[in-house]
Amino acid sequence: MPKIVDHAARREEIAEALWRVVRRDGIRAASVRTIAAEAGWSAGAVRYYFPDQDGLLSFAMDLVSRRVTERIGAIAPKGSVPNIVLRYLDEVLPLDAERRAEFDIWLAFMAQAQAETGAGTLHTHTETVHNQLRELCTSLIRALADEGLLKDGLDVRREVERLHALLDGLALHAAIQPERTTPTRVRQLMRHHIESLLA
């Protein structure tokens, strides 16, 4: 009987090898050769799934976004709206090993995208992820507004921008100084912010 190969799983395995190389050695070290060695594959096998590096980088970035989206989609909307909002926000912050790895990759790709001239692959993907995060902030603030939970006079668009900036800032602090900006502290600050918006 022929061996059944799960091509989707193989592609994810290669992308995860890329993540490990980038986290350990930086994005410039992420060549087909180093990724193949990290995955325990031949360079030819990696090229079979990803004929060019742009395709591999795109897939690796998409995988970050897809995993976050899947976790958010799995949240059961039970409990108070503010608590549901906080559960959603938890999923985009580096609060455990998996989410720290995703944020490290996002940060490395974003830094490289800024160094690119023109609208390259990384620039396109980082902008897409950035826009998705803004959309999440918009939907969460609007959910609070639709339930009549926000203080009178708050500008919804401005609160979306503030929440987006707070998410970015807390994620960066947690990545740079994890001993100071612990998961407990991040959750406390995020809860304080959301509660400060409520009537």
CA–CA distance, 133 with 89 (Å, rounded to integer): 10
Give the chain as a 3 state SS string: CCCCCCHHHHHHHHHHHHHHHHHHHCHHHCCHHHHHHHHCCCHHHHHHHCCCHHHHHHHHHHHHHHHHHHHHHCCCCCCCHHHHHHHHHHCCCCCCHHHHHHHHHHHHHHHHHHHCCCCCHHHHHHHHHHHHHHHHHHHHHHHHHHCCCECCCCCHHHHHHHHHHHHHHHHHHHHHCCCCCCHHHHHHHHHHHHHHCEC
**Residue 122's closest CA among 74, 58, 165?**
58
Whole-number pLDDT of residue 29 = 87
What is the pTM (predicted TM-score) of this model? 0.85
Report the pLDDT averaged over residues 133-141.
Answer: 96
Under the banding of pLDDT at 50, 70 and 90, the label for residue 109 is confident
CA 6 vs. chain centroid, Å, equals 25
Residues 66-100 pLDDT 10s: 888 899 889 988 899 999 999 999 999 999 998 99
- Percentage of the chain with pLDDT > 90? 58
Angle between helices 81-90 and 121-146 (to 10 degrees): 170
